[in-house]
Amino acid sequence: MTGMTGAELARQLVKNSDNMVIGFDNFFASSIDSIRDIIDRDNLRFFEYDINDERQLSSIKDLIIANKTKFDRIVYVNCAAVVHTEHFYDVEHTFMTNVVSMRAFLHQAIDVGADIFINCSTSEVYSMQSWNEHGGVKETDFLLLATAEHSQRTSYAVGKLLTEFFMKDAVDKNRIKGCSIRFANVYSEHERFAKHIIPHIISSLQQDGSVTLLENSKKNKRSFLHNIDSCRSVLALINNEEALDGSVYNVATDEEISIIDLVGLVASKLNVQNPVIIYDGYRASDPERRILNTDKIKQRTGWSPIVTLSEGLDLCVKYLSK
């Protein structure tokens, strides 16, 4: 819950005192600092638990059962993911967290009689076919995945793809309502560790006016989605029952930027003149672009992003400058 999606989603939900938010995290890639501003809210219960710990997961189940009669709906949101690129290559870890534990969490939701399950997937599932020139790849497009001969990194994409099958199967069998969301390059000012590209660039430029990038960055382009908008999409789907048919939704922006231009944009916001870029290392099976078609979620829920990249970077620079 203290990751990018969980923290912001909790922040948006606790604004309504009628909501009760129960969350947990093991702080593998986050910190309690990301929810420090809401941790004392009466309608938030947080536990330092690990989704891979069966006993701790069972405690969450007991808590849900004890309180389920107090609320009109019970909604499970699976935000668990070994998301940082450096961990994508740890096949055992990504499999346990993203596949085995996701399935256990889904089964728990079904067992307690939850109304909705939202599975946060990833645009990584598109692997080497992550863009086209006709409005971006659609959820229905066939996938072209790199294999183990190309990169172990693909194990993360395959694992998240498998969670989408679990989700679809549960809905098709009328066990629960829900869907999967493929987020593209989510970022947040609340990221504590500079392991994603935006906080890495900001922290590096603040330190000495230079930034080290992979060789891939010379040609790579990305579109970045602020977690305010990613969480707005979760809420939009939760509140649209017809959309909870077990299918998949792309959630992204159309605002593409090269990594080199991203460095320049961040530098201008930090008043860093002539930022120095150092290239070191190369990442196999890293797509040059990632453009997703978001017509499906827009048509079904009316969702669209509201935070521009420039506005999102302003939030990040302000927060990380503290």
Task: Delineate the domains of the chain, giving CATH numbers in brackets.
Answer: 4-191+224-254+289-308 (3.40.50.720)
- Token pair listed for 215: 């060789």
Specify the pLDDT at position 319: 85
Report pLDDT digits (tens) over 283-316.
Answer: 888 889 999 999 999 999 999 999 999 999 999 9
Report pLDDT digits (tens) over 22-38.
Answer: 999 988 777 888 898 99
* Per-residue three-class SS string for 214-246: CHHHHCCEEECEEHHHHHHHHHHHHCCHHHCEE
- Kindly tell me the sign of the dihedral angle through the C-alpha atoms of 118, 135, 283, 161: positive
pLDDT beyond 60 at 84: no
CA dihedral 58, 63, 64, 69 (to 10 degrees): 150
Report pLDDT digits (tens) over 133-159.
Answer: 889 999 999 998 888 888 877 888 899
Rounded to whole angstroms, the Cα distance separating 145 from 148 reads 10
Rounded to whole angstroms, the Cα distance separating 198 from 202 reads 6
In single-letter form, the type of residue at position 227 comes to: N
